Structures are given as C-alpha cells and as structure tokens.
Amino acid sequence: MNARRRQIVNMILNGRTTIKYKDMETIFNVGERTLRYDLESIAELLKEHDIELVRVSGQGMWKLASNPDADSLKSLYDTMNYEERSHSAEERILLISHELIIQNDWHSLRLIAEELEVSKATVLQYMPQVEGIAEHFQLTLERGHKGFRLTGTEKHKRLALLSIMEKLEDTWDTVNPLPNLNWSALTFKDMDKITKIITKHRTEKMNVSACFRVWALFLQRTRNGAFIDHEEVDSSVAVDPAFHEMWQQLSEAFATDDLPSEKIFAYLYLLATGGIYEEPAERVKDNPAFMELVEAMSKRMGLTGFSKKQLKEIYTEWQVLRIADEHDITIMHPLREKIEELYPFILFHIQEAMEETDFLKAGWTIDRLVPLAICMAAIYEKASFENERYQIWVVCPSGLAASRLLTVSLMKHFPKIEVKRTLSISELEDIEAWEQWEKPDFIVSSVTLHDCPYPHVTVKPVMNDEEIQKVEHFIENSDRKRDSGASNHDQQSIFAVIPTSRITVFTEPPAGQLEKIIQMGVSMLEEDGLVGEAFHGDIIRTVFEKKYLYEIIPGLLFIHTDSDDVMKPGFSLVQLTEPYLVEDKLKSHAVLFMATPDKHAHIPQLQYLYQLLMNQDRVDDLLDWSRLGLMEGSE
C-alpha cells in the first residue's frame, strides 16, 4: 500500500465518511483516474474488515455505506499499524521468500520493491539470503527476464511457508500473522471460522495456533490448485482418531474434498513440530535407544539425574525429533538464533550425543534439534532457580518446551516470581475457567494480549538480557507492595549441582592434612560412579607435584585435573570447620572437586557453578559448614 492510500484510510479511521475526487485531487495533486484506482483498492481492503466503501454514481465521490462498528475499526487500525511499521532486514527476507512461494509464478523485481517500499538494489542485496532459505527447504530460486520464482515440490513449499509463518509470528509478537500477508484465497471470516472449529474439536494435546496455520495454508494452497502428491507422504501412516475427527469437521465446514495425502502431511507436520503431543505408548525407561541417548547427554552435560517428569518431557521431544527425521520434515525454528546465543554448549552436547549414539540420518539440521535443546535448557535452568513470591501466569503459544523454558527462566532470574499457571491463548480466553482461579499479580506473555483484564508484559520465549530488563522495569514500575516471607536460604540450587551424597564436613584441624581432605572428596566421586581409582593419583600429581592449587573465589579451594579415568562429570564438596591456610595466599573454608571426562564437559559444569557463585547466599552456604545442616549439631 502506497503512502497516498494509507493517508486516505487514516482519514476514514479518523471519522471521515465521504471521499470526494475534487478534494483528493487538491490534496495529492493527482488525477481522478489515479484516485479511482486507489479507492477501488481501498474498498477491497475495507471489505476484508466488514466495512463497505461504495462509489456514488454521478456525484464524483465514494462514501461509507454505514457507520463501521468498533471491532471492524480496531481490526483495520491493527492492519494499518502493520503497514506503517518499518521492516527489519530479516522480515524483508522472509516476506520476499513468502511472496515468491505463495504466488506460484514469476515475480518482477519492480513489484517486489514496490511491495516492500524499498529500492530494487536493496531487494537484490537480500536475494542470497532468500536463496539460502530456498535451499534449506530443497527449493530452487530461478532468475529470468520476468524476475524471480521459487520452484520445487508442494510438500517442500508448504514446509517453507509454515516455517516462515512461525518466524513472522515470533518477529511480530502475534499469534496469527496471516492478516498481514498476501493471501488472496482466504478471508477474515475464514480465519475466524477455522479458529472456532479447531478450538471446539481439538484435544488438550493439540496446539491451536499450529493447527490453525496448517489448515489455513491447506485452504490457501488447494483453492489455488496446489496439492500435495500422494508420493510425497507415507500413505501407511495411521492418523490419530481425534485429529481425523477435527479434520473431518473442517472439511465439512469448508466443503473440501477428502484428500488423504493432505491429511497425512498435516498430521505428520504437527507431530514433527510439537503441534500435537502424543502420550508415550511405553514406559520411557523401556526404550533402550532413548535411554542410550539420555545417558550420553547426561554424561556430557553433567546433570545429576533426571526425574520421571523430566524424562517424560525429554522423551516427548525425542519423539518429535524422530518423526521429523523419519518423514523428512524440514523446519526453520524461530528460536534457533536465541538458543545458539544463550545455550550453545547445550546444542553442542546434544549434537555430540546424537552422533555418538548414531541416532540421526545424515541430512539432519540444527533447527530440528532446537526443541530438544529448549527442553534441556529448561532442565538446566531449573537446577538453580531461587524462591519466588509474585503470583503470575505465563502465556506462550510457541509449544510446551518453549513454555517450560520461559517459565523456569522467569523463576531463575526473578526470585520473587512464582508461576502459578502456564496457559495457551485459548485457555486465557476461557473466561469461566480463569475466573475461578486465584488472580495473578501480572501475566508474562510471548504474544501481545488485547483486552486483558490483568497487568501484563510481552517478552520473547527465550530470554536474553534485553527481555530480562523489560521484566525488571515492569516489576519496578508496579504499584504493588508486598511482604517478604520466604526463606533467605534455599539450598535446593546447591543440591541440584552437588547432591548431598557428595557433600561432607572435615572436622579435624586441616593443617598438614590436605591429602586426607583430597581422599574424602575423591571417595565421594568414586562412590557415585563418576570416577575410577586412577583419578585419585592424577589429582595427587596435579596438586603436589605440579603445585596446582588455587581458590576459584576467596575461601573456596578448587581442585581439578586431566584424567582418563572419569566416567561422568560432576562435583563433590568438603567443608572445613577450621580454615585451611597457606602462608598469606590461601584461607580456604571449603574444598570443591570437579571431575570431567573431556574438555568439552568443562563448559556446562562451569555454567552450573557460575549460577551458584553469582549468588552471595549460595556462596555463604558453600563456605559455612553449619548452614547446609548436613552434620549433626549444625544450626
């Protein structure tokens, strides 16, 4: 939409009911023919928002057929806000890719530049990135005298479009980007109808936003004659009865043919992206391939053990990854860059574990690993979160794993926060349900919430420093006064990193007894199966022959060595009732031992340790033997 048309629409939003050619010619210095084309285009736009702009024959003007209602004006206002925002380079690349796929034909350079309101030279600068997206989905960018077009199978085009839609959702902080995309075969009424049917017939394991995207794209493509060939999907796949029933309801409502290949593609895509979560058909521990992978990840990441709930969560994401791998479901995950930035070591260790267990095919991509990385990041973050006090709700439609990561990230970075409920958009709209719940102090959401009765702040699902500051400012600006009744000394974050079986207290005077202290620390690692007998000798050589002895922070002696006799990474801690003194250099109140099987395992171990050492209460717990209460007589 050009600037002239935007200005005319804004006149209507500001209350103008008639548009006269004579007035507009004076304002814009253009002829009646140009204005007629403008108003015809504007009338089509307004029609999508249930606003009727009609031409008055013989009077040289157009007028509104009736006064638009508030909902229609709000919908139009939101669309205009999108039109007026300046797009980032990433958005423009996504939008160019989207247009080239959705049009099914050549797209001229001039037309692309006009749609994005940039120069043709700028569009050409983006084409290498557009080609990169095309290659990611096995599509081909063709160049010719007519412009550009993307060619490939319908399955790969659908996968590309679905990923682009999901990335635009994240970029625009919205649950539905379609109103701002050029979809000629889908109306606003169609979108409302799809949402109502899916909300009514879905099960709790189905994500409304994901199901909406798949069906909306199915309608857009099939109405334009683009169908998925039966050879592009595995026709032997048995579709879940609940999903089949929902698909049948949608087919009847929109009078579409029964197309098995389309239904199977939709079902497999949703399974492979977490849009549908299936309950495990077996006990997760009875699956040897899964447990082998878990053992490999546990060994590399140094986690002290997974709970039943955590194992189930990992198994769910493992199933998602397996289905994507088996059925060649390629994605472009919207949170990949943020996960690579904040949790690179987790992604690295998952890749290593996958290769070690020979789980993935040769053609796997990092994007497929991101959901599992989000799940592992949630477990990692939970190992060190503190007490919480603010009663809040979390709204995150980006999938269960992303919801869990956002939840535990909030709890970790904001000790005064307690997440009472994690909701989907449809659950938040269920007024009868949430009116029965205890009211939250505020809501943290990954999408913009309209008409929400409670205070809320919008953040990204993966929280970086900018998102953390946003929540900090929101809490600081809150008028709510509150008491502080929670314990100041919650040691659960310590025990998540160093279990109580590997913490002991040395009660003798430590002078001249460092070797005995080392024996105690190494013995605890041996008893838990982390190290073998040779590890003790390697430690002794490092400390006494190489004289490698230092405090990682004042008061905490840190002992570590390179050893070939380490099975799993982990820590042990020996607390001292009297300080260990070395001339004027050391005055240590505790000795921390770290075991790592290889250099790659250092990173996550030090990440865990960093979380503890950046909290003064936890440091005091480590250095003062009486605070953890692990020995009789301690307070």
Can you tell me the distance from the alpha carbon of 166 to that of 183, in angstroms, rounded to the nearest whole number?
16
Query: HSE on the CB side for 70, CA within 13 Å?
Result: 0
Which two structure tokens, joined as six digits, stand for 549? 């002895």
What CATH homologous superfamily does 390-476 map to? Response regulator (3.40.50.2300)
Rounded to whole angstroms, how far apart are CA atoms 593 and 560? 6
- CA 451 – CA 378 distance, rounded (Å): 30
Tell me if 426 sits within 8 A of 197, measured CB to CB. no
Q: Domain 492-623 is classified in which CATH homologous superfamily? A: Mannitol-specific EII; Chain A (3.40.930.10)
Using alpha carbons only, give the angle 4, 42, 56 rounded to the nearest 5 degrees. 105
Single out the residue of 350, 384, 381, 385 nearest to residue 368, CA to CA: 350
Token couple for 501: 């079986």
- Give the whole-angstrom CA distance, residue 534 versus residue 108: 70
Give the DSSP per-residue string, 489-503: ---HHHHHHS-GGGE
Tell me how crowded residue 437 is: count the other CB atoms within 10 A of its CB: 11
| Rounded alpha-carbon distances, angstroms, from residue 425 to 179, 228, 346, 447, 455 | 18, 30, 29, 9, 16
Nearest to 497 by CA among 407, 572, 554, 557: 572
Q: How many CA atoms lie within 13 A of 460 on its CB side?
A: 20
Between the two ends of the chain, the Cα-to-Cα distance in Å is 71
Give me the average pLDDT of each 10-residue run along the chain (635 residues): 79 86 86 86 86 89 88 78 68 93 90 86 94 95 93 96 92 81 86 94 90 96 94 92 95 94 96 87 84 82 73 90 91 90 82 77 78 87 55 80 84 80 75 69 85 85 88 74 38 75 92 94 92 93 90 92 88 94 86 85 76 83 85 48
Joined together, the tokens standing for residue 335 give 């949170």
Global confidence as pTM: 0.62
Q: How many CA atoms lie within 13 A of 311 on its CB side?
A: 18
What does the alpha-carbon distance between residue 472 and residue 390 come to, in Å, rounded to a whole number?
Answer: 13
Contacts of 214 (CB under 8 A, 6+ apart): 162, 266, 269, 270, 275
> Scanning the structure block, which residue is given the tokens 């058909």?
281
Do 43 and 84 form a contact (C-beta atoms < 8 A)? no
Q: In angstroms, rounded to a whole number, what is the distance separating the alpha carbons of residues 621 and 615?
A: 10
Backbone angles phi, psi at 198, to 5 degrees: -65, -45
Under CATH, what is the fold of the domain 3-84? Arc Repressor Mutant, subunit A (1.10.10)
3-state secondary structure of 441: coil
What is the helix (H) or strand (E) element at residue 294, kind and residue range?
Answer: helix 288-301
Number of other CB atoms surrounding residue 129 within 10 Å: 16
pLDDT of residue 492: 61
Extents of the domains making up the chain: 3-84, 89-237+269-273, 284-379, 390-476, 492-623
Distance, CA of 542 to chain centre? 43
3-state DSSP call for residue 421? strand
553 and 618 in contact (C-beta within 8 Å)?
A: no
In angstroms, the CA 522 to CA 543 distance is 13
- 525 touches 585 (CB < 8 A): no
Question: Cβ of 98: how many Cβ atoms within 10 Å?
Answer: 23
- How many Cα neighbours within 13 Å face the side chain of 461? 31
**From CA 381, how far away is CA 584, in angstroms rounded?**
38
- Interstrand relation of 417-423 and 140-144 (parallel, antiparallel or unpaired): unpaired
Which strands sit side by side in the sheet containing 550-553, from one edge to the other? 503-506, 570-582, 586-595, 556-560, 550-553
Handedness of CA 281, 286, 289, 293 (dihedral sign): positive
CB of 172 within 8 A of CB of 166? no
